[in-house]
Structure 1
Amino acid sequence: MKISAPQPMGSYNPDDVTFLLKNLQSVELETSTEDREKAIQSGIHYSEMLPVEYRPTAEYLQLFHETLRQTAEKVALAAGKAAELIIRKRGTKVVLVSLARAGTPAGILMKRYLQHVYGISLAHYSVSIIRGKGIDENALLYLLQTHSGDEIQFVDGWTGKGAISQVLAKSCADFEKKHNIRLNSDLAVLADPGECSETFGTREDFLIPSACLNSTVSGLVSRTVLREDLIGPDDFHGAKYYAEWAGEDVSQLFVDTVSRYFPSIAELARLQAEQHLNAQVEPSWRGLQEIGHLQSQFGIEDINLVKPGVGETTRVLLRRVPWKILVDRLDNPNLKHILLLAADRQVPVEVSPGLHYSCCGLILPRRDESV
Structure 2
Amino acid sequence: MLITFFSGSYPANDVRFLLKPLKMQDTPVHVKEALIQSGAQHYSELLTHESLPSPEYLQLFHQAMALNQQRMAEDLLRLTKQIVATRTQGITLVSLARAGTPIGVLLKHILARYYTIEAPHYSISILRDVGLDKNALRYLVQNHHPGSLVFVDGWTGKGVIARQLAESLRTFAAETGIFVPAELYVLTDLSGSAAVAASADDYLIPSCILNATVSGLISRTVIDKKNLASTDFHGCVYYQGYKPQDLSQYFINTLLTVINKLSTDPVKPYDSELDKQSRQTISEQFLKQITQRYNVSHHNYIKPGIGEATRVLLRRKAKLLLLRESDNNATQHLRWLAQAKSIPIDILSDLPYQAAALIQEV
Q: Are residues 1:208 and 2:214 paired?
A: no
User: How far apart are residue 150 of structure 1 and its match?
Assistant: 5.2
What does 1:44-83 correspond to in 2, within 5 Å? 44-83=41-80
Q: Are residues 1:348 and 2:344 paired?
A: yes
Residue 239 of structure 1 aligns with which residue? 236
Residue 183 of structure 1 aligns with which residue? 180
AA of the residue aligned to 2:15 = V
User: How far apart are residue 263 of structure 1 and its match?
Assistant: 3.0
Q: Aligned to 1:34, which of 30, 36, 41?
A: 30
Residue 369 of structure 1 aligns with which residue? none
AA of the residue aligned to 2:271 = H
Residue 362 of structure 1 aligns with which residue? 358
Structure 1 unaligned blocks of 5 or more:
367-371
TM-score normalised to structure 2 length: 0.95
What does 1:176-325 correspond to in 2, within 5 Å? 176-269=173-266, 271-273=267-269, 276=271, 282-283=276-277, 284-285=279-280, 286-325=282-321
Partner Cα separation in structure 2 for residue 207 and residue 63 of structure 1: 11
User: How far apart are residue 325 of structure 1 and its match?
Assistant: 0.4
AA of the residue aligned to 1:116 = R
Please, which moves more after superposition, 148-157 or 63-72?
148-157
Q: 1:246-288 deviations in whole A, cap 9, x for unaligned? A: 111001111111111223334443x422x638x7554542324
Q: CA RMSD in A?
A: 1.6
User: How far apart are residue 149 of structure 1 and its match?
Assistant: 6.1
Residue 6 of structure 1 aligns with which residue? 4
Partner Cα separation in structure 1 for residue 240 and residue 146 of structure 2: 36
AA of the residue aligned to 1:351 = I
| Aligned 8 A contact 2:302 2:358 in 1 | yes
Partner Cα separation in structure 1 for residue 153 and residue 326 of structure 2: 28
Partner Cα separation in structure 2 for residue 280 and residue 352 of structure 1: 27
Identity %: 38
Residue 107 of structure 1 aligns with which residue? 104
What does 1:88-167 correspond to in 2, within 5 Å? 88-91=85-88, 93-148=90-145, 151-167=148-164
| Aligned 8 A contact 1:54 1:214 in 2 | no
AA of the residue aligned to 2:318 = P
Partner Cα separation in structure 2 for residue 149 and residue 37 of structure 1: 38
**SS of aligned partner of 1:51:** coil
| Aligned 8 A contact 2:36 2:43 in 1 | yes
| Aligned 8 A contact 1:33 1:52 in 2 | no
User: How far apart are residue 69 of structure 1 and its match?
Assistant: 2.0
| Aligned 8 A contact 1:52 1:319 in 2 | no
TM-score normalised to structure 1 length: 0.93
| Aligned 8 A contact 2:146 2:179 in 1 | no
AA of the residue aligned to 1:182 = F
AA of the residue aligned to 2:259 = F
Q: Residues 281, 194 of structure 1: CA spacing in aligned structure 2 closer, same or farther, 3 A cutoff?
A: closer
Q: Aligned to 1:15, which of 13, 16, 35?
A: 13
User: How far apart are residue 55 of structure 1 and its match?
Assistant: 2.4
**SS of aligned partner of 2:303:** strand
AA of the residue aligned to 1:133 = V
**SS of aligned partner of 2:292:** helix
| Aligned 8 A contact 1:117 1:266 in 2 | no
Q: Aligned to 1:336, which of 316, 332, 336?
A: 332
Partner Cα separation in structure 1 for residue 214 and residue 35 of structure 2: 27
Partner Cα separation in structure 1 for residue 33 and residue 168 of structure 2: 26
Partner Cα separation in structure 1 for residue 260 and residue 286 of structure 2: 38
Q: 1:280-312 deviations in whole A, cap 9, x for unaligned? A: 554542324311221121111211110111011
Partner Cα separation in structure 1 for residue 47 and residue 55 of structure 2: 24
| Aligned 8 A contact 1:138 1:235 in 2 | yes
Please, which moves more after superposition, 66-75 or 97-106?
66-75
| Aligned 8 A contact 2:88 2:148 in 1 | no
> How many residues are aligned here?
359
**SS of aligned partner of 1:78:** helix
AA of the residue aligned to 1:291 = L
User: How far apart are residue 52 of structure 1 and its match?
Assistant: 2.1
